[in-house]
Amino acid sequence: MRIVAGSRKGHRIAAPKGVVTRPTSDRVREAVFSIVGPIEGAAVLELFAGSGAMGLEALSRGAASCVFVERDRDAARVVQANLEKLRLTGAVIANREVASALRDEGARGRRYDLVLADPPYDEWDAHAKTLADLLPGILADGALVVVETSDRVEPDLPLDLVTTRSYGSARITVFSR
């Protein structure tokens, strides 16, 4: 995998070993950021970070900060290694469950301009209610939420639907506040 655009364009990034993590492909990342548009100075939150590919892409494209939330310790180490390799700053890795991280961010009054959520494809139903309940409380005005799911799933959140598009076996759904 490579960073698609921005200050680290073309740099390779690592993905966690095994079959549990499914990194977002270069093609899908390029499509997402084409839909989202410029993100210079944005505060970004990547949920279910895995390799961190989406958040790394955001930082490369000029986001001011990114919080990577990933419960798997090995995957969180890969995100840290990618950040160090790319010498990207403004990042925090939260090695914890998404629900806990969202509750804490909301309690601290933190707001995000862009949220990237890519739960394991077979776990959307298990996370949908938590995301629906907790995401609106951490969104800045005009924020976007990008959800990646299996192309067979049409995610629904209590936000305005911007677009939904399929790329092979992946579906990207963009919501706005």
Per-residue model confidence as pLDDT tens digits over 61-90: 999 999 999 999 999 999 999 999 999 889
Query: Has residue 90 been placed in a domain?
Result: yes
What pLDDT shows up at residue 4? 79
Quote the number of domains for the chain.
1
- Contact predicate 98/48, CB 8 Å: yes
Q: What residue spans of the chain are helical by DSSP H?
A: 26-36, 53-60, 73-86, 98-107, 124-134
Q: How far apart are CA 23 and CA 15, in angstroms?
A: 7
Query: Has residue 34 been placed in a domain?
Result: yes
What pLDDT shows up at residue 2? 75
Domain extent, residue 56, equals 26-176
CATH number, domain of 148, equals: 3.40.50.150
pLDDT, averaged across the chain? 92
Query: Has residue 4 been placed in a domain?
Result: no
Query: What is the total residue count of the chain?
Result: 177
Query: Has residue 63 been placed in a domain?
Result: yes
How does residue 21 score in pLDDT terms, banded at 50, 70 and 90?
low
More confident residue, 153 or 20: 153
**Residue appearing with tokens 């969104």:** 139
